Structure 1
């Protein structure tokens, strides 16, 4: 369908579906296209047809969980993720892909696609948003990461590779602030970040995910 193709993309490039129920979906689409992939917005289950991988953007995780259910996307995505479809979750997207949300609402549902436990808004409220230079495995140079009401990872399972960590500031919302916390993790075909790589002009995190998608498609 023509709407599923960028102006310069070919059918040999992966097609990334960006869940567009809330958050910075358009920014993710633009970043994936700059990195050389095709990308489309996903709002209903039929939009997943032909998609090779999915991205879940930032936003408000409880609202996104509700919208995923009411749109019918939650079950459709669960089935695709269980079948091994690669996924990239940023901020709220990371929360939705996690196994455990330590301070989530009782009715909040997550996909359990990566064995991590996350804490919502762990770095503080909106006024505590910040940028930081991160050193990440797989990147030659530091990445300027944008943290907005961001979660962090409090537990990473044995199957999870921690690619980047950060030392939280003392104004974080969690008592007993740890010396460092994971903010970029990978497990199998799943990549998650506490921060918003789509809000920068640096597309290396998106390219890292596209490399994972390519490896998955080659199997």
Structure 2
């Protein structure tokens, strides 16, 4: 089983380290051919506009959409959540993969200096440490999106089938529970298609 972390820009290294700490084989994905080797994909935090532009130009974006529709488990954190969303309310023309039935607002929790850490109660997982840095806020979601955690009444961890997205950065903590949850999603699918 091999999990890729999209490495076009952003904090992909931290996700790779988190996955490797769980004993999972993980590597940096940069090309369409890299995407063809993986059993799951993490889209990291970073600059969503930059990641999106590179993904669009290189064909990586189209391949991600195809793989997601084929059932590949994908987890997006912060910028990754923005890229998975069907709509960005404050930047409607920004390129995204348009995979999850959510509308988000970028940088809704404040600027970099307003970053913060909290503990969240997460369904199916328990208490999790979460780091919010210029995080997106989920403003709308459809009935087929499961809300796994909220902060001040707003969804911050959501799942829609094979897609998982968080407003926060679990990879910036020592808490591996969110990554474990995603690894189980990947493992379950890997076993079912073998």
TM-score normalised over the length of structure 1? 0.84
1:131 to 2:104 alignment: no
Distance 1:78 1:162 in 2: 22
TM-score normalised over the length of structure 2? 0.95
Cα distance, 1:71 vs. partner? 2.4
Q: Is the 8 A contact 2:68 2:162 kept in 1?
A: no
1:200 to 2:187 alignment: no
Distance 2:91 2:27 in 1: 29
Q: Is the 8 A contact 1:84 1:189 kept in 2?
A: yes
Q: Report which of the two structures shows the higher radius of gyration computed on alpha carbons.
A: 1
What stretches of structure 1 move > 2 A for 4+ residues in a row? none
1:191 to 2:164 alignment: yes
Q: Is the 8 A contact 1:15 1:38 kept in 2?
A: yes
1:149 to 2:134 alignment: yes
- 1:151-191 CA distance string (max 9 Å, x none): 01111211111010001xxxxxxxxxxxx210001111111
Aligned residue for 2:88?
A: 101
Structure in which a larger fraction of residues adopt strand:
2
Q: How many residues align?
A: 192
Unaligned runs of 5+ in 1: 1-13, 168-179
Distance 2:10 2:149 in 1: 23
Unaligned runs of 5+ in 2: none
Aligned residue for 1:160?
A: 145
Q: Is the 8 A contact 2:5 2:29 kept in 1?
A: yes
CA RMSD of aligned residues (A): 1.1
SS in 2 for 1:135: strand
1:53 to 2:26 alignment: no
Aligned residue for 2:72?
A: 85
Give the alignment of 1:31-42 within 5 angstroms. 31-42=18-29
